[in-house]
Structure 1
């Protein structure tokens, strides 16, 4: 991690530290319904406060249109945040200007204040230089702990870093270290497991991965498109027939790069997509015209298990089947279980991320048994696509 500044590179005692957090948490009936992001952020905030800094927290929340509104106020997360950091966090009605300055002046070193939603200002998403400068004027040092917002070049994720000494917070650091180990400097062989409905949304990702990994295991709807591109009849399964040429091009690139593409050998198929629908296990080439492939079958699980057994690194994005509905979660659960088991034995580095992936691993009961599970979604995907993330680039040592 030598090319990034971390909290270890900063002296913060007696200073005001601006921390870019991601407090864009899910809400239900005006209450936070999942505190994962808050819990993961707390160690950075507590450490900075413990070192004698005034901690000023910046975050976006929701998608407000044209100025402040109560539905998108960060005030709603204040009590959960206070609970997570073990102290009463103050609140400022704005993220720049006099209200913010007064709220910061009113706290002592070792205390914290949460500033109102950065997106209440249109300049935030435009990365407006004057707005970023106004924000930077509130503090002495900038710490970015919002990897999940690092793929956006906004004022609070990238603009502020141009004005202040900047570093990655502990969560950002953890994320960058895990990702670097998984794809930039991995222990080989590396196996990427990529599922999900469509290849159209993951073309860049697949194109980047085949040049970096030794094996690419495909599941979900996208596996059907690859089989179809090889002339297999996939019946009534989800399949992007218009993407066959792109699938063939990816297979060609993989061959040249020495990356082995692993496609399902068998499927669990059903005639209707609903819980408890009558289903059967068929060979990948024997799907009936009125049947849909909804999960990978036991032969595929065994085949992937052997491949994972020989891998040193696994990068996972997307479920292998329609995991939301039983019994079509069995394949994802079984393969995720094997990855978790090998990780726990110490033989494997496993990194997973992206929206559906987190819920798929959670329903398999293994999300805390992987080396690292990223809650970042879009930023994780763009990183897998090999793109430079502006919020990360801004933290590189000058």
Structure 2
């Protein structure tokens, strides 16, 4: 892949710079931001532009307001939190296009920061409507994309705008994502160990296929593992599995063998006779090797598998982890995921956490600060690891 230009490669002093951030943050029951990871992730690019003396115009989406103005999805609280983090004012504009935006931008001095309202208040955003993109771009001399989490979507603010300005570059966040998910997994320091978990083989089959070309060892956990167990002729009881994907799992097993990749599957599982995810409760639990009987379902890897996986990670020089080992949200089923998190954090390696639930898991385990890189993209991480072109990156200038 050609290397994209970044904010380091251009001088944007005095320019009006439209920056696409990913401020799609979660809120708690009281309406407070419950995880500021994405805000913190945007700070290096914003600070760089402020220091350079650019007029910084930030835009983002939040949630799914379905093309309508809905106060439930306002970015106003993000402006407050962002100002706290920057230690300087952030002007919030109650629209993302039109006169209010033009007026706010006209009033800016060099180094000022403005945050526009949710771009998804307009249906034109997700439709990548040229007219909407034109209105967004009308206040900008340059464009910076720093929203890796939405780079796999060809929306007006992630792709359309880039074609309407002369200078279009990546921010530091996207630069780091491309470096870790791209370079460091394409030409990894070896041994390269990939850990894949989560619910469905169907979600990750292209990733499995792509990574079997690159890695030395692959560990499978989560509900995906029960589809692999079916492929090996085992019974999985009531475990979450995809019987229609058994052939796909068999193909992956065969490919690993042909490539000389060590494919490790669970040798034991923690199972329960009742799982109430909503209430965060399980019934009786026990550890079994081999078949799982009807009326019971797997909810985590067992102690022997934990040991096996820890040993595999210990000697790694590069680790990519995407997807939990079990139902880590419930304490009784979190041991496998947290043990793997600890093993990855302790290993003397470049450790890359690939978005989505793995990020929640590594943070919940308390090991978030002890890994090399945590990706901000769920779907974008997977698509990039699959080798797909990300429209939001492809629209930027290359070096």
TM-score norm. by structure 1 comes to 0.93
- Which residue matches 2:265? 263
Runs (4+) of structure 1 exceeding 6 A deviation are none
Indicate conservation of the 8 Å contact 1:197/1:220, yes or no.
yes
Indicate conservation of the 8 Å contact 1:182/1:315, yes or no.
no
- Which residue matches 1:19? 19
- Which residue matches 2:75? 74
Deviation at 1:251? 1.6
SS at the partner of 2:56? strand
- Which residue matches 2:252? 250
| Paired residues for 1:195-344 under 5 Å | 195-273=197-275, 275=281, 277-283=283-289, 285-342=290-347
| Paired residues for 1:1-398 under 5 Å | 3-28=3-28, 29-164=30-165, 165-273=167-275, 275=281, 277-283=283-289, 285-342=290-347, 347-397=348-398
Q: What is the CA–CA distance in structure 1 between the aligned matches of 2:23 and 2:211, rounded to whole Å?
A: 30
Deviation at 1:253? 2.5
Indicate conservation of the 8 Å contact 2:197/2:323, yes or no.
yes
How many residues matched? 393
Indicate conservation of the 8 Å contact 2:182/2:385, yes or no.
no
Deviation at 1:238? 2.2
TM-score norm. by structure 2 comes to 0.93
SS at the partner of 1:13? coil
Q: What is the CA–CA distance in structure 2 between the aligned matches of 1:73 and 1:382, rounded to whole Å?
A: 28
Q: What is the CA–CA distance in structure 2 between the aligned matches of 1:210 and 1:394, rounded to whole Å?
A: 29
Q: What is the CA–CA distance in structure 1 between the aligned matches of 2:285 and 2:7, rounded to whole Å?
A: 53
Q: What is the CA–CA distance in structure 2 between the aligned matches of 1:341 and 1:171, rounded to whole Å?
A: 25
Q: What is the CA–CA distance in structure 1 between the aligned matches of 2:240 and 2:92, rounded to whole Å?
A: 48
Indicate conservation of the 8 Å contact 1:315/1:350, yes or no.
yes
Indicate conservation of the 8 Å contact 1:276/1:326, yes or no.
no
Aligned Cα root-mean-square deviation (Å): 1.9
Change beyond 3 A, Cα 1:372–1:66: closer
Change beyond 3 A, Cα 1:307–1:85: same
Q: What is the CA–CA distance in structure 2 between the aligned matches of 1:279 and 1:117, rounded to whole Å?
A: 45
Indicate conservation of the 8 Å contact 1:182/1:314, yes or no.
no
Indicate conservation of the 8 Å contact 1:182/1:350, yes or no.
no
Deviation at 1:317? 0.8
Q: What is the CA–CA distance in structure 2 between the aligned matches of 1:360 and 1:310, rounded to whole Å?
A: 22
Indicate conservation of the 8 Å contact 1:55/1:112, yes or no.
yes
Change beyond 3 A, Cα 1:66–1:273: closer
After superposition, give the CA deviation of every residue in 1:62-92 in whole Å (9 maximum; x if it has no partner): 2123432322222232211211111111122
SS at the partner of 1:153? coil
Indicate conservation of the 8 Å contact 2:158/2:392, yes or no.
yes
Indicate conservation of the 8 Å contact 1:180/1:186, yes or no.
no
Q: What is the CA–CA distance in structure 2 between the aligned matches of 1:339 and 1:162, rounded to whole Å?
A: 41
Q: What is the CA–CA distance in structure 2 between the aligned matches of 1:365 and 1:138, rounded to whole Å?
A: 43
| Worse-matched range after superposition: 302-311 or 274-283 | 274-283
Structure 1: any 5+ residue segments left out of the alignment?
none
Q: What is the CA–CA distance in structure 1 between the aligned matches of 2:283 and 2:70, rounded to whole Å?
A: 45
Q: What is the CA–CA distance in structure 2 between the aligned matches of 1:46 and 1:320, rounded to whole Å?
A: 37
